[in-house]
Structure 1
Amino acid sequence: MARLQDRLTTLIKPAVEALDFELWGVEFVRAGKHSTLRVYIDSPEGISVDDCADVSHQVSALLDVEDPINSEYYLEVSSPGMERPFFEAAHYAMFIGEQAAVELVAAQQNKRKFRAQISAVDGEQITFLVDGESLQVALPSIKKAHLIPNFD
């Protein structure tokens, strides 16, 4: 699955950047005929519905030509939003000191799903502060994670 997401990211990124947006991330969720390809875009000015429509049109045409997914799927284009998912180490680095909800591929220190503060990023190593204890996790060991917005 990770390889497909990597291929899709490589394929889609130039089309998104040509429209002056940042490709925040790509995820493909398999669910038979209801599979979904989610493309998250970002911009310093924010993302509008029209921006999503423009990117969707461009990416859809590209996917029709390249045909990288051999099953039916829905294409969704959106901003990462306030609970933005993390895809790269750089995403974690942007939010050091903030809280994240994390799910690991396999438990580490008896933790698989947890909420923690992002305390450091060193290459592909992400360090979380969980219940007062430091937990260092390699990026590939993270199944999924997203920011927990702070409204204080």
Structure 2
Amino acid sequence: MAWQETVAQTVSGLGFDLVDLERSAGGLLRVTIDLPWSPPVEGAPAAPEQFVTVEDCETVTRQLQYLLEVEGVDYHRLEVGSPGIDRPLRHENDFLRFAGQVIDITLKAPIGGGTEGVAANRKKFRGQLERAEDGQQWQIVWSDAPPPKPGQRVSKKREPEPMQALTFRLDELQQARLAPLVDFKGRRSVPKA
């Protein structure tokens, strides 16, 4: 068994999800963990959102230090942390969890040049994540209108820019992340469908 699989089993055994495992030059081994998530049950009250704590990272760090020593993995520094505001999305469960949120995606192959009103050779998009109508694929919805500047008055009579949508499958993505948007007025609840 490869050491990556052993790390994944250890992290899940401690009650966390392994979000990312990165080994970089200079001997840095970075492990990103998150709390497990399961879809909400209809009719049940929504559970409060929980976050990874410093104590959680410390617990995982100590366990992985023992594990990596036993496995004989050569590293100089181990970092265990939470995914942060630009969390990567890799699995179907991640997309289910963050439906309705603003995400950044990068496609493997560029699209555009007249199709779907998208500029030629575009690979990067930012918009709201939604489930496509077929229930199998995902879509990202956005507007190319520039956002209003802080304090700028926007006329209510002004026609809103048309929304665009791009439907995609997970295997078409090179990368997907939550958009690192910071709102100092607090978290807003996701509208229920």
More strand per residue: 1 or 2?
Answer: 1
Of 77-86 and 39-48, the range deviating more from structure 2:
39-48
CA distance in 2, matches of 1:126, 1:29: 31
How far off its partner does 1:33 sit? 2.3
Check whether the contact 1:24–1:87 (CA below 8 A) recurs between aligned residues: no
1:1-152 equivalences in 2 (<5 Å): 8=4, 10-20=5-15, 22-28=16-22, 30=24, 32-33=25-26, 35-42=28-35, 45-67=50-72, 72=75, 74-109=77-112, 110-120=121-131, 122=135, 125-131=137-143, 132-148=163-179, 149=181, 151=183
CA offsets per residue over residues 15-67 of structure 1, 9 Å max, x none?
123323x214113254x326543322226642221210110121232233335
Aligned residues: 141
Query: Partner amino acid for 1:42?
Result: L
TM-aligned CA distance change 1:55 to 1:144, over 3 Å: same
TM-aligned CA distance change 1:108 to 1:93, over 3 Å: farther
CA distance in 2, matches of 1:90, 1:139: 11
How far off its partner does 1:146 sit? 1.7
TM-aligned CA distance change 1:36 to 1:18, over 3 Å: closer
Check whether the contact 2:11–2:18 (CA below 8 A) recurs between aligned residues: no
Percent sequence identity over aligned pairs = 23
TM-aligned CA distance change 1:72 to 1:112, over 3 Å: farther
Question: What RMSD, in angstroms, separates the aligned Cα atoms of the two structures?
Answer: 3.0
TM-aligned CA distance change 1:64 to 1:138, over 3 Å: farther
TM-aligned CA distance change 1:134 to 1:46, over 3 Å: same
In the alignment, structure 2 segments of 5+ residues that lack a partner are 37-48, 113-120, 144-162, 189-193
TM-aligned CA distance change 1:83 to 1:60, over 3 Å: same
Larger Rg, first or second structure (1 or 2): 2
CA distance in 1, matches of 2:171, 2:71: 27
More helix per residue: 1 or 2?
Answer: 1
In the alignment, structure 1 segments of 5+ residues that lack a partner are none
TM-aligned CA distance change 1:107 to 1:51, over 3 Å: same
TM-score w.r.t. length of structure 1: 0.71
TM-score w.r.t. length of structure 2: 0.58
Query: Partner amino acid for 2:6?
Result: L
